[in-house]
Structure 1
Amino acid sequence: MNNNLPLYIQITNELREKIKQDIWPEGFKIPTEYELCDIYHVSRITVRKALDELEKENLIVRKKPIGTFVNQSKGLESNNNYTLVKSFTMEMNELGITIESLRVNVIVSHADHTIAKFLKILPGEKIIILKRLRGVNKKAIGYFITYFKFEEFFSLDSTDYQGSFYEYLGSKNIHIINNQEVVEAILPVQQIARILKVTNSTPILRRCRFASDKEHNFYEYTECYYIGSEYKYYIDFTN
């Protein structure tokens, strides 16, 4: 766990990941507060605060006196208000910043069990891994690793992914309207530090995105790594 974050946030993040990755599937009865206290060696107050966060996100349901269960609607997926998901390019444009791709790699691979689960496909199916280093004036801001199912109509030419990925998808009549994200502050592993040209002690914002256009059976999983001093994550709750 990340010692720079409050304990209840660290526990919230770990439990959320278990739910997102279907380690704890829908309807699963999660350990009791006392059991979680033993697992994480923390007080009941800390565990309760972590569970409160998951309940606010609609990821769990407390059913007294039976126990606490993973919500059948899995949180954000239960929201019927479709929202346009902003790309990183759009986020930066709204701040008056023109972003550029410093390096783009397009890799054809095969899904392992975890990625297959994220993309709603079978393990071993062919996928595309898109790796992009993005920044401003040759200086890196973030590194993105995107996974999606291989289709013949997707380009394998890196120049086609220089701009906004979601604009490219739009050209294929794919429009991302469902999105779930997990955001946490971390210290980079050696590979990420090397790519972003920072030290291992540089704060990094890690943003994992699960996005989809279910109408066209398109699912995407992206890991984003931002240099903490170069990027701020904005949330707009207005309609």
Structure 2
Amino acid sequence: MKINNQNTSPLYAQIAQELRLNIQTEKWQEGDRIPTEMELCEIYHVSRITIRKAIDELVKENLLYRERAKGTFVRKMTQEEDEHFTIVKGFTQELQERGKLAKTIYVEVERSHADKRLAKFLNIRIGEEILILKRIRGDEKSVFAYFVTYVAYNQVYSLNAKDYYSSFYAYLKKLGIVVNQEREYIEAVSPNRAIQKRLKIKESQPVLKRVRFTSQVSQNFYEYTECFYIGSKYRYYLDFS
């Protein structure tokens, strides 16, 4: 597998993202032993030091753990952690808790078909219909976020953009869908032309990319969202309480 040389992120960070996705998409499932460091060196054509740094990142995130003389394994989620994922906060709730009013400036709704990557994320077959929701968002003072959300298409979903200006999770709740599992990761990226246009920023302006996977397995609902935030206007807070 080749690494994107045009990506400004360090090699170990790019590889960490690939390994993280293997866990997020359950290519590597809980309890699985991942390939050895030497095997990963051959896959990514990088040094062992680079691979070790990538694995270290996921160990810090509690996604992987090492067992001496046995290898590196995908960490199993404890019951306590599983309960933690039952509360999924959307953009609207996140800003409300910080005393701000979430605003959606623009919404675009599109029906399309899943490619191999999206089919894996959404637990559907390649070519099945999907709903793509593109939203430009911010607070009462400024615009600083661009969201692209993908879900498997269902006839109960509205195709009217006006129905998606408020909280997406509140909209889902009206349909009887309450997501109860979430995984996400964050990385710094350079904005492509689409992001530059949506957020009215320059190529040199740093962007925070937040990738979110949510689900309600009992209802066979899966969501994949890419969120792009203007780095100078947004801070991401972690609550460990």
TM-score by length of structure 2 reads 0.84
Match of 1:59 in 2: 63
Shift of 1:50: 2.9
Aligned-partner Cα distance in 2 for 1:237–1:138? 28
Does the Cα contact within 8 Å between 2:8 and 2:189 map onto a contact in 1? Answer: no
Amino acid across the alignment from 1:196: L
Match of 2:22 in 1: 18
TM-align CA RMSD: 2.6
Match of 2:100 in 1: 97
Gaps of 5+ in 2: none
Shift of 1:198: 0.2
Shift in CA distance, 112/156, structure 1 to aligned 2, threshold 3 Å: same
Of 194, 211, 221, which aligns to 1:208? 211
Does the Cα contact within 8 Å between 1:212 and 1:219 map onto a contact in 2? Answer: yes
Of 130, 136, 141, which aligns to 2:139? 136
Shift in CA distance, 232/40, structure 1 to aligned 2, threshold 3 Å: farther
Percent sequence identity over aligned pairs: 46
Query: Would you say 1:32 and 2:40 are equivalent positions?
Result: no
Match of 1:80 in 2: 82
Shift of 1:173: 1.4
Shift of 1:98: 1.2
Shift of 1:80: 2.6
Match of 1:169 in 2: 172
Aligned-partner Cα distance in 2 for 1:222–1:91? 16
Match of 1:192 in 2: 195
Shift of 1:10: 4.2
Match of 1:50 in 2: 54
Amino acid across the alignment from 1:224: C
Shift in CA distance, 210/77, structure 1 to aligned 2, threshold 3 Å: farther
Match of 1:227 in 2: 230
Shift in CA distance, 184/139, structure 1 to aligned 2, threshold 3 Å: same
Match of 2:117 in 1: 114
TM-score by length of structure 1 reads 0.85
Deviations 1:79-100, CA, capped at 9 Å, x for gaps: 4314311110111111222121
Shift in CA distance, 76/11, structure 1 to aligned 2, threshold 3 Å: farther
Aligned-partner Cα distance in 1 for 2:201–2:149? 22
Shift in CA distance, 78/116, structure 1 to aligned 2, threshold 3 Å: farther
Greater Cα shift, 79-88 or 24-33: 24-33
Aligned-partner Cα distance in 1 for 2:119–2:184? 18
Amino acid across the alignment from 2:123: K
